[in-house]
Structure 1
Amino acid sequence: MIDTPSVQHPPGVPTHLPPRLTISLWDFTWYTQTMPGEPFADLDVAFSEAVERGYNTVRICAMPFLLFGDHGIDTTALQFTKLGGDVGVRTRWYDVAGGAVIDGRAHLLELFRAAERHNCYIILSSWEYQQSPAFLAGPEWYDALMAVAPDDRHAVLADAMSDLVQYLKDHDLAGRIAYAEVHNEVDLSRLVLAGGGTQDDPYRPQKPFVEDAVRRMRERHPDIMAASCYGIPPHLDTDSMAGNGDVAHFHVYVYGVLGALERWAGVRETEGFPTAELRSLLRDDAPDVATYEGKVEPWRLAATGVSTTMFYSYDWVDTARWDRWLYENYGQWREAMLQAIDDRIDVLARLGQRHGAPLVIGEGWIGYTPLLAEFEDGPVGQSLAEHALVRCIEQGAWGAVVGSNSAPHHPGWQNVAWQQVWNRRLLRGDATA
């Protein structure tokens, strides 16, 4: 365990919360991977391992709409499943065993009580308009979400999150809340339809809806910090984002060489898939892509937003070939990726300062990779993360992840010593080696 040093709280941060948040991204996996042998089968073990690595905070999909929305779904016996057949078996976040049955509200209380036992805090969010409903056995959660009119979705989420916070207060557990977000990545979710916005212009049309949601949460619970969350913050157009959050929470992914690989291989293409370039990266035992058709129910694909071609790519690439391509081509992208980190963290820190909100980088740093790929968790990826973490420390960030893959459901969790070193530096505000 790493002790929290005596550093000052950022302005506006309640003193019962840590002066620095070292964050592990548990997302929706804390309820989708709970079967024996899975990383969240025992929440005490998961928290114990987190504390050993230097974390004092976890960030989750609290499924507020499912647990507290007006939809009539019985949440006392939620059945979670895999996507279909072997789809997702080697795709990050989707390698679930399936078969878990949980009482949703009871499981939430269990999580918070475990956090209390291990002196950890929880950032509340929602992935419900992104991936979460895809793991339920039936479509009722997804259908209920889609039935909410787009212009009402932010408010409905805010009210559900407020009800969830009240539920935790009623059980004397709200002291474990670090803060509450309206939704994960409002710009990259099905919330972008609000106000007529589209995927091509997800920011400005959404802004009043996001700000209204933050206001609603703050009015219900003025003692709980409320925030928005942007996945691709438009750092050249910061006025297009909601600016009334108590926390300046953003994600910083710099795909760089990874984006170049995905474009070269056509990972996200739908026509002419798989390309010759992608075939050169596949495992020798990769099946024909046609075998993936029909394995995942259409509603489940719609609920997760990940295409069949992406699942096929991530499941069946030879990760040694994948990583080798990244290493061979990284040199021409290195400076651009470092500069992107510098620019974005600098702009986001200034934005937070202007609004009087402490900066938190809740996800980062390179991007979405196959589960068993090691580039981001290897020496080059770690060097990029270290560069970003130094910038976060220099900018006085309240919290940050050492990396989005540093969580119990990712292989990078095994890099124990590296996480300890950098969480210790985050806690101490130590920008020098």
Structure 2
Amino acid sequence: MTDRYLGSASLPDDDATLTGAGPAHLPGRLTITLWDFSWYTQAGPGEPYADLEATVADAAAIGYNAIRICAAPLLLFGGLGLDDLAADLEIEGLGAAPGGGYYGQRTRWYDTPGGFRIDLGARLLALFDAAARHDMVVILASWEYQQSPSFAASPRWFEAIDAVPLDERYDVLAAAWDRMIGWLTAHGHRERIALVELHNEVDFSILPDIADHGGVVAGLRARHPDLLVTASYGKPPHLAMHRVPAELGAAQCHVYSYGVLDALQQRIDIRSEGTAGFPNAALRELLRADAPSVSDYARPAPWKLQATVITDQMIYGYDWVDPSAWDAWLDERYPPYAEVMHREIASRVIAIAAWARWRGVPAIVGEGWVGYTPLHGSFEESDIGRGLAEHGVRTALDHGVWGVVLCSNAAPHHPMWQLREWQQALNAEILARG
């Protein structure tokens, strides 16, 4: 057989090497568990994060080496007059619902009954101390312009950060991070910081376009050249990655392929607000038999809805949908979406990795893979969902991604945490590539 020259595009590339080197003291690969704000909003008696030492130890036993959190820099170090609140923060969740229970009771991430107080600064230090004892590192982010303040009993946190003019918010965040980094350094935890994200999902938060504020990231990087500093995207511009600011010190991007889930969400109009006639007939078919009317269920306090990016329709819908009916709809209609969902995950991961390689920075997939489901919906925990997650993780490893989540739902506050053997096996696979 004659060899034929088909051009340089036919020559294999070694894309499995890391896109960019991280600090030498950090692990060769990060396997990340996403604790977001739940590590302090679900910390009451009997809740998943009540005993931080035990929870960190459990994560380490499953094979994780990195925890990604909302560190609440604006509350703790924002200089916004909130020191007393941070030292005695009352967690309420979205509040009590009519007829018993609480808003968000069956909504993923929002299932926070509250009813306890914490010293958030002391708790953050306790988390770092526990991480040090179990040889884990911490990814620091902020969800404050997305939802964190909505879980507090007092509106002061939200009102203080909301009063910051839009164009000054990144500057205030950077200053808060600078002070927090100094505080953690003074407590001996600088090398425990794996990454500092100016904010989580800047494209889905109450923030201006990060492309116009890359200099803020550059400034924070210059003050801490030994640390990785960036901002994360919820949906990076995969088809136009040149729009991502060159100043980012890492490509921390989230990869969700909604596919069949998006088809269901559009059908039942669950993510909108103010829709006349909500819930529509399609959603009513999926509701629990004991679901109250929208008017009877009412809604959380107005300031809480202002402080979060989710809507009252989402809260009602996820609280009252029948998860079995939800899963059955997705399972039945998944096959025509299977190929495109796999392709979308791969193409997005590859685009992120290619941008990071071009810039010579580490790539991280801090969230993924399918999307937002009811708390007790098991689509991502099923064979289908785990297959998509494994595809995402392996694609990331094959293209030099440094850090990756197994799934956004693989965390102590989600039912997926019980899939211990699956997590252990996939974590071992990631770490073997380090």
TM-score tier, shorter chain, comes to over 0.9
What is the DSSP-based 3-state SS (H/G/I as helix, E as strand, rest coil) of the residue aligned with 1:286? coil
Q: Secondary structure at the match of 2:334?
A: helix
Q: Partner residue of 1:387?
A: 391
CA distance in 1, matches of 2:427, 2:30: 9
- 1:69 equivalent to 2:72? Answer no
Q: Give the Cα–Cα distance (whole angstroms) in 1 for the partners of residues 19 and 61 of structure 2.
A: 25
Does 1:247 pair with 2:258? no
Instruction: Confirm whether residue 317 of structure 1 aligns to residue 321 of structure 2.
Output: yes
Q: What residue in structure 1 maps to residue 174 of structure 2?
A: 158
Tell me, in whole angstroms, the C-alpha distance in 1 between the residues paired with 2:233 and 2:61: 30
Are 2:215 and 2:247, in contact at CA under 8 Å, matched by a contact in 1? no
Q: How far off is 1:357 after superposition?
A: 0.6
Asked if the contact 1:292–1:308 (Cα under 8 Å) also holds between the matched residues in 2, the reply is no
Alpha-carbon distance between aligned partners in 2 of 1:378 and 1:364, rounded to the nearest angstrom: 15
Match of residue 99, structure 1, among 97, 115, 131: 115
State whether structure 2 residue 333 is matched by structure 1 residue 329.
yes
Instruction: Mark the runs of 5 or more structure 1 residues left unpaired by the alignment.
Output: 1-6, 195-204
Query: Counterpart in 1 of 2:217?
Result: 214
- Give the superposition deviation at 1:429: 2.2
Does residue 228 of the first structure (1) align with residue 227 of the second (2)? no
Which stretch has the larger CA shift, 96-105 or 152-161?
A: 96-105
Could you tell me which amino acid in structure 2 is paired with residue 151 of structure 1? Answer: D
Q: Distance in 2 between matches of 1:100 and 1:17?
A: 35
Give the corresponding residue for 1:41: 50
Give the letter for the 2:112 counterpart.
V
Distance 1:9 1:333 in 2: 31
- Quote the residue 1:396 is aligned against: 400
Indicate if the aligned counterparts of 1:396 and 1:429 stay in contact, CA closer than 8 A. no
Q: Structure 1: how far apart are the matches of 2:18 and 2:238?
A: 26
Q: Which residue of 1 aligns with 2:28?
A: 19
Q: Where do residues 342-353 of structure 1 align in structure 2 (5 Å cutoff)?
A: 342-353=346-357
Q: Do structure 1's residue 175 and structure 2's residue 175 form an aligned pair?
A: no
| 1:275 corresponds to | 280
Identity %: 47
Distance 2:47 2:161 in 1: 28
Q: Partners in 2 of 1:233 and 1:11 — Cα distance?
A: 19
Partner of 2:131: 115
User: What is the letter of the counterpart of residue 164 of structure 2?
Assistant: V
- Deviation of residue 220 (structure 1)? 2.1
Which of 285, 290, 294 is equivalent to 1:285? 290
Cα distance in 2 for partners of 1:395, 1:9 equals 8
What letter corresponds to residue 332 of structure 1 in structure 2? Answer: P
1:53 maps to which residue? 62
**2:302 corresponds to which of 280, 298, 301:** 298
Per-residue CA deviations over 1:268-320 (Å, capped at 9, x if unaligned) read: 24222001110100111111111222x41100011012111111110111100
CA contact (8 A) 2:17 2:400 kept: no
Q: Deviations over 1:215-242 (max 9, x none)?
A: 1211221111101210001111112222
Q: Secondary structure at the match of 2:177?
A: helix
Greater RCO (Cα-Cα under 8 Å, separation 6 or more)? 2
Q: Is the 8 A contact 1:244 1:355 kept in 2?
A: no
Shift of 1:97: 2.3
- Using the alignment, how far apart are the partners of 1:354 and 1:271 within structure 2? 48
Matched to 1:93, the amino acid is: W
Q: Is the 8 A contact 1:33 1:100 kept in 2?
A: no
Partner of 1:124: 140
Give the Å deviation of 1:147. 0.7
User: Which whole-Å CA distance do the structure 2 matches of 1:213 and 1:313 have between them?
Assistant: 39
Question: Within 1, Cα distance between the matches of 2:64 and 2:17?
Answer: 18
CA deviation vs aligned residue, 1:353-387 (integer Å, no higher than 9, x gap)? 00001111000000011000001111100001111
Q: Distance in 2 between matches of 1:78 and 1:320?
A: 36
Structure 1 or 2, whichever has the larger Rg, is 2
Instruction: Work out whether residues 155 and 212 of structure 1, in 8 Å CA contact, stay in contact via their aligned partners in 2.
Output: no
Residue aligned with 1:390, SS: helix
Give the whole-Å Cα distance in 1 for the aligned partners of 2:369 and 2:279: 27
Q: Report which stretch shifted further, 70-79 or 10-19.
A: 10-19
Contact kept in structure 2, 1:56 and 1:121, CA below 8 Å:
yes
Query: How many Å apart are 1:10 and its aligned residue?
Result: 6.4
Task: Verify: 1:148 aligned to 2:164, yes or no.
Answer: yes
Aligned to 2:138, the other structure's residue is in SS state strand
Instruction: State the TM-score, normalized to the length of structure 1.
Output: 0.92
Residues in 1 aligned to 2:21 and 2:399: alpha-carbon distance in whole angstroms = 16
1:243 CA drift (Å) = 2.2
Aligned to 2:252, the other structure's residue is in SS state strand
The one-letter amino acid of 1:128's match is E
Q: 2:370 aligns with which of 356, 363, 366?
A: 366
- Measure, in 1, the Cα distance between the counterparts of 2:241 and 2:408: 24
CA contact (8 A) 1:32 1:100 kept: no
Contact 2:67-2:139 at 8 Å conserved across structures: yes
- The secondary structure found in structure 1 opposite 2:330 is helix
Q: How far apart, in 2, do the equivalents of 1:231 and 1:10 lie?
A: 20
In structure 2, how many angstroms separate the alpha carbons of the residues matched to 1:239 and 1:100?
46
Counterpart secondary structure, 2:33: strand
- Amino acid in structure 2 at the alignment position of 1:164: M
Q: Which amino acid aligns with 1:40?
A: Y
Q: In structure 2, what is the equivalent of residue 357 of structure 1? A: 361
CA contact (8 A) 2:201 2:232 kept: yes
Which amino acid in structure 1 is aligned with residue 59 of structure 2? A
For residue 89 of structure 2, what is the amino acid of its counterpart?
Answer: L
